[in-house]
Amino acid sequence: MTHPTEHRLRADARRNRDQIIAAARTVFVTAGTDVPMEEIARRAGVGVGTLYRRFPDRGALVRAVARETLAAVQRDARTAVAEEPTAWAAFARLVTGCPGVRLTVRLAARSGPSWTAAQEDPEVARLRSECLALLDEIVHAAQAEGTLRPDVDAADVARLLALLFREDPGDSGVVSERIVGLVLDGLRAGPVSGSAADAGRSSRWSGWAPPAGRSARTPR
């Protein structure tokens, strides 16, 4: 049986880790990954020694931020697919309502070599690949239901998101809903009928078949 003190120590360690990652993510977005580790510890409300016990060097901390951010994107994408009534609605939600997508773009834009190096981490690479696979499934499903332009692929959407959410000094990094709406209008194949908009989950995905050479996978 685990002693209550051990449980408390584990909870404290987890809380410290979460606070450090959250503080680092905020600092990295605004100032890049070269911010002094002491500043990150101060923002997290922990001692420098605590930070280094959890993350022995800057690279370890950057990798942890990259993993957490991509995992959040993956969760948001799966939730959108599970909860939205159409593939287009899931796609639009991913573009407009997924903070992790914007955060990932801005981290990549503001961070330096240490962020680039983190992309070689096997766990980061796995999460990035799974996020792109989910995006690919959503794109093909929306095309199958006739709501997304047929000449667009997941790579196009990823590049568009990178351009759309890259921080712009002229607007303090805030992309207006109007601009996002205009982008979605440009990607849309045409108006959706009421029956399509009200379609349930099973009918939404039932018409989707992967292109030749792609394995069939059920988005979830």
CATH number at residue 197: 1.10.357
Q: What is the DSSP letter of 169?
A: G
pTM of the model as a whole: 0.76
Question: Within this chain, do residues 24 and 100 fall inside the same structural domain, yes or no?
Answer: no
Nearest to residue 74, comparing CAs of 102, 98, 103?
98
Question: Within this chain, do residues 91 and 156 fall inside the same structural domain, yes or no?
Answer: yes
CA distance linking residue 87 with residue 80, whole number of Å: 9
- Picking from 14, 37, 56, the residue at the C-terminal end of a domain is 56
Q: How confident is the model at residue 165 (pLDDT cuts 50, 70, 90)?
A: confident
Helix (H, G, I), strand (E, B) or coil at 176: coil
Domain containing 8 — which CATH number? 1.10.10.60
Q: Residues 143-164: what's their mean pLDDT?
A: 91
CA distance linking residue 183 with residue 199, whole number of Å: 24
Question: Within this chain, do residues 15 and 70 fall inside the same structural domain, yes or no?
Answer: no
Question: Within this chain, do residues 30 and 92 fall inside the same structural domain, yes or no?
Answer: no
User: Which of residues 193 and 34 earns the better pLDDT score?
Assistant: 34
Q: What is the DSSP letter of 111?
A: -
CA distance linking residue 21 with residue 31, whole number of Å: 15
Domain range spanning residue 185? 65-220
